[in-house]
């Protein structure tokens, strides 16, 4: 029996790059296509919130080009929704903006990183292995990153899950209880999309950093591994 997962849309792929692989619903559908998960879209950034937190079996929060501290009226409502997920122990996975939004909802500041953008293929270490990672998870994995904001500290009752191998992103993922976890990099991103986005952000990110990031795109990604974690998590909880 398939699981119904609510995909909380809090932003969109740059329209100039959507011809590569579509928007977030398309990217997550491809990422999770082999795992018997039905994604139900909710456009939080357009005011389309669920009526009840239990109307889906679990929830995934998408990335966004916005920052969680932007002055957008829907963000406060999204924070309240996330606090309800935690209070009622509703299964939840937050990706990039979703990672930061949960941290902010639980009282932790999210700020611009002092080192600027984290982009390209990055390596991450597993700080606290989880049962849904399987019997022998690897010590580290690689995914595409694209962010300039970071979670500055773990919220109360949260535990460090991932940290970047290079140290550029100390809190790259966290667990909150047994039914919520987050990840800063993008398991849904593919290299051609990242390359197109980087090419259009030379001035924003910096030419040298963009060049290095684009050169990293030939490295293998652990998307299937993280997709399996997501599927295991929602199945097991």
Q: What does the alpha-carbon distance between residue 63 and residue 60 come to, in Å, rounded to a whole number?
A: 10
The dihedral built from the CA positions of residue 126, 127, 129 and 132, taken in this order, carries a sign that is: negative
Of 61, 82, 169, 188, the active-site residue reads: 188
Catalytic residue among 56, 61, 82, 96: 96
CA gap 144, 41 in Å, rounded: 23
CA-CA distances (angstroms) from residue 47 to 75, 85, 160? 10, 18, 31
- 169 carries an active-site annotation: no
159 is catalytic: no
- In this structure, the number of other CB atoms found within 10 A of the CB of residue 49 comes to 15
Is the Cβ–Cβ distance between 162 and 172 less than 8 Å? Answer: yes
CA distance 201 to 94: 25
CA distance 72 to 226: 31
Q: 45 and 10 in contact (C-beta within 8 Å)?
A: yes
Rounded CA separation 180/44 (Å):
19
The strand pair at 92-95 and 58-61 is best described as: parallel
Quick check: 205 and 116 in contact, CB under 8 A? yes
Q: Any catalytic annotation for residue 186?
A: yes
Q: Which residues are catalytic, by number?
A: 96, 186, 188
């Amino acid at each position: 029996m398939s699981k119904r997962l609510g995909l909380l849309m809090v932003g969109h792929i740059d329209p100039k790059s959507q011809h590569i692989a579509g928007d977030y619903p398309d990217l997550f559908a491809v990422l999770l296509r082999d795992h018997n998960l039905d994604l139900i879209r909710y456009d939080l950034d357009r005011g389309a919130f669920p009526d009840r937190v239990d109307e889906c079996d679990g929830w995934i929060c998408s990335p966004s080009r916005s920052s969680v501290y932007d002055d957008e009226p829907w963000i406060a409502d999204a924070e309240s929704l996330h606090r309800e997920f935690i209070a009622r122990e509703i299964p939840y996975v937050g990706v990039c903006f979703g990672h930061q939004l949960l941290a902010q909802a639980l009282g932790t500041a999210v700020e611009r990183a002092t080192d600027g953008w984290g982009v390209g293929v990055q390596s991450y270490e597993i700080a606290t292995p989880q049962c849904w990672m399987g019997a022998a998870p690897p010590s580290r994995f690689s995914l595409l990153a694209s962010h300039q904001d970071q979670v500055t500290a773990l919220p109360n009752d949260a535990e460090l899950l991932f940290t970047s191998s290079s140290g550029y992103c100390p809190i790259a993922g966290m667990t909150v209880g047994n039914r919520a976890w987050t990840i800063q990099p993008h398991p849904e991103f593919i290299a051609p999309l990242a390359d197109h986005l980087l090419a259009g952000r030379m001035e924003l990110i910096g030419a040298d950093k963009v060049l290095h990031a684009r050169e990293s795109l030939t490295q293998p990604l652990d998307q299937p591994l993280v997709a399996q974690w997501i599927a295991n998590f929602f199945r097991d909880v």
